[in-house]
Structure 1
Amino acid sequence: MKYPLLEPGATIGITASSSGVKPELHDLLHQTSNRLRTQGFNVIYGDTVWNQHKSTSAPALVRASEFNEMMLDDDINIIIPPWGGELLIEILEYVDFEHIPMKWILGYSDISLLLLAITLKTGIATAHGTNVMDLRGEFSDPTTAMWLPTLSTRTGEAIRQHSSLNYQKEWNFNDPSPSIFHLTEPTFWKIISQASVNIQGRLLGGCIDVIRHVIGTPYGDVQYFQQTYIHNEPILWYLENCELSTTDLRRTLVQMKLAGWFEHCSGIMFGRSEANQPFDGYTVEDVYTELSNELKLPIIYDIDCGHLPPQNTLINGAWAEVHVEADGTASVTQYFRP
């Protein structure tokens, strides 16, 4: 595994590989760049960021070309898209995977598909965490703020993050928060069939809604990644559900199992989700219990990951030790080891 390094005074490239920003929201972009510059960063916006039409910022080839250009631009040190979207999968065939440099890419939601594909194909670590729009506040909550020290961790070093105290259940745009999020609900990491748990493994994951679509493609070859880059060390999956129904979540997890994604796996972690509603009495806890019994693996859920912020910054490819206590508190220690 290879890990980029974020240095002080870095230049952030903002490109919309999925959805861009409509004109009525451009002020949020200006707020974001102003805030980042006060923190010592430089900011470069791509042309795609300022547009949004029919579910994307631009045609797939345009989005991919801008991403490739920013990745190869030595003056840009990290890429953080404005947010996710719907159709990032369209750009994968145009991404220049053969010339991916050592540069952090940070994001979640639809962006997690790009993150996973890059790590699987190149062995370069990518960062699942906050989008750039959520860094425009006067300050960041302690969980979100860990993106910076995490991406500043050097190869061979380790960094520990903790579960949040509270999470945001819903957006309240009529009452803006200095830290962007309204963290009102107590956080409690849960475990299937155990009181506490310790799990170790190489982190991989993302938004299950989108990463499932590369199963069986050149962009989702988990076995190649295991054999080539982590030498068959166990994988610790983290997954978050944005919009799948409970039954569709179950179908997708079965597909992942049948495709071999859970071979050499040490455990699975699931983020909080508003989509986890019962279907005909069938609950998401039923899904997790069935999967745990089938795979004989520990399953942790309601972790700080996904569309109910805040989020831990999870590094695809890093070795992680996850400890969850019976009281719902947790720690994630990530080792940036080759």
Structure 2
Amino acid sequence: MAIRPAALRMGDTIGIVTLGSPLEPETIRTRIAYLQGMGFNVVLGRHVFDQNGYLAGTAQERAEDLMGMFADPRVKMILPVRGGVGVEGILPFLDYGFIRDHPKLLSGYSDITVLLNALYRFAGVIALHSLLLLDFRPETPAYNFEQFFSATSSLAAPRPIANPPEMPPLVGRGTGTVCGPIVGGNLTSFVGSLGTPFEADTRGKILLLEETHEPVNTVYRYVEQLRLAGKFRDCLGIVMGECTNCIDAYGKTYQNLIDEVIAPLGKPLVTGLASGHGTYKAAIPIGACVLMDADNGRLTLMEPAVTA
């Protein structure tokens, strides 16, 4: 069974780190102020404001910031400022044994996907496919905060995973019901880890995929790479999230890709989950057990992401 970090409570301290691409300093400060206005204390990694092209400091520096947050007894939760690129570079510098012995909540999506899955696979710790620091602003939908704080604070289970009323409901594409830990996240980042020591293990898992700003023919290429790597063969079921701002290509849509490539795999399939890069972001605990009813389009979280 995966390790559940301690729940987040109002007044706790959140550690802010930049693990991939940089974010404008003023944006970071504004988002931190919003977080503090919610009632949380904040500590910053040494390299939060570093900028070196498309990266924020060296891989070693970013990894040291992250490990520092796991070692800091004040910090209850770790919140990266954004994803971008470069998160994969920190993975060899992390001490997964130490993380296992000092588990803490960590939330993110986009390129943070590779870290979420590595924390689960190598440290056995549940991590949250949910908000980044950049999402803490007045414009963020209430649904996103409700999802985030339910996942980080509630011990209630089972709990349905469902889209907000503003979105179409999940669609079940058959066949049957399966139950297992959920892994995955951003498709580009997930594919980028293939062939490395840090690729996710989908054996006996439910696989979640979402994407953003890619033409459908590129999404097809990534999906085919996952298929050839055995990731669909090994998984129990597939959850296809949104392809946010993805571009139709050669007369084909993202829905066509699901119909023509994913559905014929014959795996239990649910589509349309709002999570990751879309406006609405369901909170998905990577490594937690999920019951997937592919006939009726239902996902149910069977255990809390946190412990008291």
User: How does the TM-score come out when normalised to structure 1?
Assistant: 0.80
- Which residue in 1 is equivalent to 2:3? 2
Question: Which one of the candidate residues 293, 296, 303 is aligned to 1:335?
Answer: 303
Structure 1 residue 142 corresponds to structure 2 residue 121: no
1:244 Cα deviation after fit: 3.2
Give the Å deviation of 1:137. Answer: 2.2
Q: Write the deviation string for residues 222-245 of structure 1: whole angstroms up to 9, x where unpaired.
A: 16xx5xxxxxxx311111112333
Q: Structure 2 CA distance, aligned partners of 1:221 and 1:139?
A: 30
1:128 Cα shift? 0.3
Q: Is the 8 A contact 2:213 2:247 kept in 1?
A: no
2:193 and 2:199 in contact (8 A); partners too: yes
Structure-2 separation of matches of 1:305 and 1:199 = 20
1:1-338 equivalences under 5 Å are: 1-8=2-9, 9-23=11-25, 26=26, 28-100=27-99, 101-137=102-138, 140-154=141-155, 157-166=157-166, 186-192=167-173, 200-222=179-201, 226=203, 234-322=204-292, 332-336=300-304
Tell me, yes or no, if the aligned pair for 1:144 and 1:313 is still in contact at 8 Å.
Answer: no
Task: Name the CA distance, whole Å, in 2 between partners of 1:200 and 1:254.
Answer: 25
Spell out, residue by residue over 1:60-95, the C-alpha distance to the aligned partner (whole angstroms, 9 max, x if none).
Answer: 111111111111111111101111111212212212
Deviation at 1:123, TM superposition (A): 1.5
Q: Structure 1 residues 332 and 137 mapped into 2: Cα distance closer, same or farther (>3 Å)?
A: farther
Flag the 1:87–1:157 CA change in 2: closer, same or farther, 3 A: same
Whether contact under 8 Å (1:105, 1:127) holds in the other structure is: yes
Shift of 1:316: 0.8
For structure 2, the 5+ residue unaligned runs are none
Indicate conservation of the 8 Å contact 1:144/1:310, yes or no: no
Confirm or deny: 8 A CA contact 2:288 2:301 kept in the other structure.
no
Give the drift of 1:55: 0.6
**Structure 1 residue runs without a partner (length 5+):** 167-185, 227-233
1:17/1:88 contact within 8 Å kept: yes
Letter in structure 1 aligned against 2:284:
L
Cα separation, 1, equivalents of 2:126 and 2:228: 26
Contact 1:143 1:162 in 2 (8 A): no
**What secondary structure does 2:121 align onto?**
helix
**Aligned equivalents of 1:163, 1:2: Cα separation in 2:** 27
Mark the CA change 1:142 to 1:275 in structure 2 (over 3 Å): closer, same or farther. closer
Which residue identity lines up with residue 132 of structure 1 in the other structure? L
Counterpart residue number, 1:172? none
The alignment covers a number of residue pairs equal to 302
Matched residue type, 1:38: G
Cα gap change, 1:332 to 1:135, in 2 (>3 Å)? farther
Following TM superposition, the consecutive aligned residue runs of length 4 or more in structure 1 with deviations greater than 4 angstroms are 196-199, 322-326
Q: What is the CA RMSD across the aligned residues, in angstroms?
A: 2.7
- State the alpha-carbon separation in 1 of the partners of residues 78 and 220 from structure 2: 33
With structure 2 as the length reference, what TM-score do the two structures score? 0.87
Residue 51 of structure 2 aligns to a residue in which SS? coil
